[in-house]
Structure 1
Amino acid sequence: MSVISEDNVRGEGSENLFKEISADGADWQPTEIESLCMNCFKNGMTRLLLTKIPFFKEVIISSFSCAHCDWSNTEIQSAGRIQDQGVCYTLKVKTKQDLNREVVKSDSATTRIPELDFEIPPFTQKGALSTIEGLLDRAVSGLEQDQTVRRAADPEVAEKIDEFIHKLRQLKEVESEFTLVIEDPSGNSFVENPKAPQKDDALTVSLFKRTMQQDMQLGLRADDDLEEEEEPAASDIDAMRDEVLAFNTNCPECNAPAATNMKLVQIPHFKEVIIMATNCDSCGHRTNEVKSGGGTEEMGTKITLHLTDPSDMTRDVLKSETCAVAIPELEFELGMAAVGGKFTTLEGLLKDIKDLIISKNPFMCGDSCTAARQQKLNEFGEKIDKITAGEMDVHIILDDPAGNSYVQNVYAPDPDPEITIEKYTRTFEQNEDLGLNDMKTEGYQEDK
């Protein structure tokens, strides 16, 4: 048995095996391996392609076909890093067009349809790049697989499964609205927003912290490691204020060993935040993220900045991971889960938005891209460029239910005439997203 190490994959002075699929990559052919067919037990052919997909990092696409029995199978596996947080997509399927939404579903994802009380547990299906209709067809195929045996052994159970299969097929007619939930603790699943860059009212995306059990399933924690991580003491935090802490991690782009620097910073006229920056010496990738140093505020904050001068692009902006960004003049809204916490300038924030919508959009290339969609997104990118150049009079809105976002007041300590700050009471749904509804901090008594 041969052993594949990092040097074998990347090689010193050689090219990375994970390449992006492009029109110029005709010479990049998949690897063919003769393997056993699990249907007829004769030899078939497996083709492997190592490539990169935006939002999904490195992936391994495999396709098996058997010339003897014509059985075929496709599979997609993530070869990149597991994300820092899990992701949950909730889609309200209202029309047949919604069935055409493209989906990246990893093998660690749980798929649910609450209306039918139907659930596909994690690690029971291999990862797939498909559509909503394809997921339904795959579920039907899985249920039909052993129906012949069931009809002979237990006709009553087989009849009930036939009825359920009929209900799944009826969903494809979309006679009534139903909900599809894809919850992935690895954070490597994705559901298409066909209205991008505008907000999709039918699609809700939320991030969550993995439980210890989910960490164990993903191999991030030993099975016997049940101890919770201790919170840092106040004295430890005080010691961190005057120094930059560094800890080892992996590059989110190429997965090579890298170092992440962390520093507590006091923002004038605001609060203390934690800034983390990662630089990779292997591929040159650089990223930064900011976390609030304090807790969740009692009220949410909505900051509206009216852009009147190109110098506004140099304003410092703190966007927390719970903050949504909107540009009403472009009918654009970016949910809080799309971009993590950022401490940058307004120009840098707009550049990140443009890169997210265009450069890092997996459906802007290949067969997934249509001419109309590409033109629409390119026009949006041109408008962002005009805003950055000061050629468009727009408003930038930062809506943060946690109250941990900030836009620099260049007139401080006097009020800024171009900034409007509104405090508001969070809704039940916003408290639910922040995990505050079930949090109890008062009324505890020790058992005597």
Structure 2
Amino acid sequence: MSAISQKHVRGESVFKELSADDEGWLPTEIESLCMNCYQNGVTRLLLTKIPFFKEVIVSSFSCDNCSWSNTEIQSAGRIQEQGVCYTLQVRSQADLDREVVKMDSATTRIPQLDFEIPPFTQKGCLSTIEGLLDRAVAGLEQDQAARQAADPEVAGKIDAFIQKLKKLKDVQEEFTLVIEDPSGNSFVENPKAPRKDEALTVSRFRRSIQQEKQLGLRADDDPEDEDEDEEPRGNDLDTMRSEVLVFNTNCPECNAPASTNMKLVQIPHFKEAVIMATNCDSCGHRTNEVKSGGATEEKGTRISLRISSASDMTRDLLKSETCNVLIPELELELGMGAVCGKFTTLEGLLTDIRDLIVSKNPFVCGDSGESDRTQKLKEFGEKIDKIIAGEMKVHIILDDPTGNSYLENVYAPEADPEMTTEKYTRSFEQNEELGLNDMKTEGYQEVN
């Protein structure tokens, strides 16, 4: 561990120097206090982007006096709106090489061993599955000598458990690794991206009041049973429909004060949607997002369109934050969290997909890019370009379990010969992921 000396550098000035365009360690070395020998050492900072994830800050400390060194990772963005839970079935040695971002707020579990690492007991790290196991073993072995002298029986039980953890690295039997992070900033690599990984399940959840207190989002003395604010109704809804509402927020890139515009609009032949746009005057970052203005439908919706010409690219499209996007011909499946909710055109959605997977992926170019992976991703980008140009005929599927996504029917009110819309009953797993299984909207004040 290290403590940065305030007489050498202030935190604010350091992070102003960080940007997504920086490559390698920052040229400025920060003199820091070593917590091992209490002499001055050096801390280096690096802002990097995890492919198919987000930006993180990696810090590395080294002390020339005692040779102490350590690394730490922190999210470069804000706490997400929902928590995230990654469940990985480790079946082979290759799974041990998956990259992992584990924030300090994350809980790590291995159900087969009844093993759990509670939140805020370890610093955040950028590692692999094997690295997490090694870190857990090292933590248990740290005080074994003292335990052996004080209580040999307990030390013996811990030794036996350490051997079980070490055996997991042989992957003689399949085991499950669960990383649950209420901040939503942890990550487990999908080596098959952009295709679906059958061994990895990603779900999002609403934080509990206790988790919000741990993350500092709620005061410790806030009541546990605080009622949520009532939804606007009557004249308030009329105001939202007729005016553009503005509220203060922070830029997701530089965290500077910014403003978000919000407007409630009616989509023809569909329903109301809330469009939000943020523009940062400090760094120029612009973003927009769409959320459904109505309730979750009783059934999910699966919309399938056969793209036959470039004219299809102009179709209006509403993708909610819960919608999955599939292109079977490209073996592409993007989960609900990959691309945020937005109101755009079909061309806009395909462009966002291409940018997410190819253009904004730092592993496509430079020394860090593997030649085989780089070539595959470039070929994927070329196929997307062909679809946009109308040179490649494919099917695009919008699968939304909440029924709040929409694709324009250019033949309306007649049926569209190239498009099919199917209503289906959600599975238990889908209701669980959406938080509907435990939701009680009637008689919730009754005492059981």
TM-score when normalising by structure 2: 0.92
Structure 1, 260-269 or 60-69: larger mean CA deviation: 60-69
The one-character-per-residue Cα deviations of 1:122-172 (angstroms, maximum 9, x if unpaired) are: 111111111110011001101111111111111111111111111111111
1:13 alignment counterpart? none
Give the 5 Å matches for 1:292-307: 292-307=292-307
CA shift, 1:225, in A, is 2.5
Give the 5 Å matches for 1:123-202: 123-202=120-199
Give the 5 Å matches for 1:1-400: 1=6, 4=10, 6=12, 8=13, 16-20=16-20, 25=23, 28-38=26-36, 41=37, 43=39, 45-54=41-50, 59-226=56-223, 227-235=226-234, 236-361=236-361, 363-364=363-364, 369-400=369-400
Structure 1, 338-347 or 25-34: larger mean CA deviation: 25-34
- Mapped to 2, the partners of 1:193 and 1:26 lie a distance apart of 24
SS at match of 1:229: coil
The one-character-per-residue Cα deviations of 1:277-328 (angstroms, maximum 9, x if unpaired) are: 1111122211111111111111111100010110110111111111111001
Q: How many residues align?
A: 438
- Mapped to 1, the partners of 2:431 and 2:53 lie a distance apart of 29
Unaligned regions of 5+ residues in structure 1, if any? Answer: 11-15
- Mapped to 2, the partners of 1:206 and 1:149 lie a distance apart of 41
Cα distance change on mapping 1:140 and 1:367 into 2, 3 Å: farther
- Mapped to 1, the partners of 2:379 and 2:127 lie a distance apart of 28
Cα distance change on mapping 1:21 and 1:110 into 2, 3 Å: farther
- Mapped to 2, the partners of 1:29 and 1:94 lie a distance apart of 42
Q: Is the 8 A contact 2:315 2:408 kept in 1?
A: yes
SS at match of 1:104: strand
Cα distance change on mapping 1:342 and 1:335 into 2, 3 Å: same
Output the aligned Cα RMSD.
Answer: 2.3
Structure 1, 65-74 or 141-150: larger mean CA deviation: 65-74
CA shift, 1:67, in A, is 3.8
SS at match of 1:134: helix
Cα distance change on mapping 1:181 and 1:363 into 2, 3 Å: farther
- The AA in structure 1 aligned to 2:342 is K
CA shift, 1:177, in A, is 1.1
- Mapped to 2, the partners of 1:361 and 1:113 lie a distance apart of 31
- The AA in structure 1 aligned to 2:441 is T
Unaligned regions of 5+ residues in structure 2, if any? Answer: 1-5
Q: Is the 8 A contact 1:205 1:337 kept in 2?
A: no
Q: Is the 8 A contact 1:363 1:369 kept in 2?
A: yes
Q: Is the 8 A contact 1:265 1:274 kept in 2?
A: yes
- Mapped to 2, the partners of 1:229 and 1:162 lie a distance apart of 48
- The AA in structure 1 aligned to 2:232 is A
- Mapped to 2, the partners of 1:53 and 1:445 lie a distance apart of 46
The one-character-per-residue Cα deviations of 1:348-375 (angstroms, maximum 9, x if unpaired) are: 1011111111233364466753111111
- Mapped to 2, the partners of 1:362 and 1:205 lie a distance apart of 23
Structure 1, 408-417 or 67-76: larger mean CA deviation: 67-76
2:3 alignment counterpart? none
Structure 1, 220-229 or 198-207: larger mean CA deviation: 220-229
SS at match of 1:297: coil
SS at match of 2:391: coil
SS at match of 2:242: coil
SS at match of 2:123: coil
The one-character-per-residue Cα deviations of 1:206-246 (angstroms, maximum 9, x if unpaired) are: 22222222222122222122334312231222331111111
- Mapped to 2, the partners of 1:198 and 1:338 lie a distance apart of 12
- Mapped to 2, the partners of 1:27 and 1:104 lie a distance apart of 19
Cα distance change on mapping 1:417 and 1:58 into 2, 3 Å: closer
- Mapped to 2, the partners of 1:289 and 1:147 lie a distance apart of 52
2:424 alignment counterpart? 424
SS at match of 1:193: coil
- Mapped to 2, the partners of 1:365 and 1:76 lie a distance apart of 24
CA shift, 1:34, in A, is 4.4
SS at match of 1:241: helix
- Mapped to 1, the partners of 2:19 and 2:103 lie a distance apart of 20
Q: Is the 8 A contact 1:91 1:204 kept in 2?
A: yes
Cα distance change on mapping 1:365 and 1:151 into 2, 3 Å: farther
CA shift, 1:104, in A, is 1.2
The one-character-per-residue Cα deviations of 1:228-278 (angstroms, maximum 9, x if unpaired) are: 431223122233111111100111112111111111111111111111111
- The AA in structure 2 aligned to 1:29 is P
Structure 1, 48-57 or 229-238: larger mean CA deviation: 48-57
- Mapped to 2, the partners of 1:443 and 1:27 lie a distance apart of 58
- The AA in structure 2 aligned to 1:177 is E
- Mapped to 2, the partners of 1:89 and 1:17 lie a distance apart of 33
- Mapped to 1, the partners of 2:365 and 2:398 lie a distance apart of 30
- Mapped to 2, the partners of 1:447 and 1:200 lie a distance apart of 43
CA shift, 1:77, in A, is 2.1
- Mapped to 2, the partners of 1:248 and 1:211 lie a distance apart of 25
- Mapped to 1, the partners of 2:121 and 2:263 lie a distance apart of 42
Q: Is the 8 A contact 1:37 1:44 kept in 2?
A: no
- Mapped to 1, the partners of 2:344 and 2:309 lie a distance apart of 18
The one-character-per-residue Cα deviations of 1:28-63 (angstroms, maximum 9, x if unpaired) are: 42524142242xx25252322142425665544222
- Mapped to 2, the partners of 1:35 and 1:49 lie a distance apart of 15
Any runs of at least 4 consecutive aligned residues in structure 1 with deviations exceeding 6 A, and if so which? none
CA shift, 1:86, in A, is 1.7
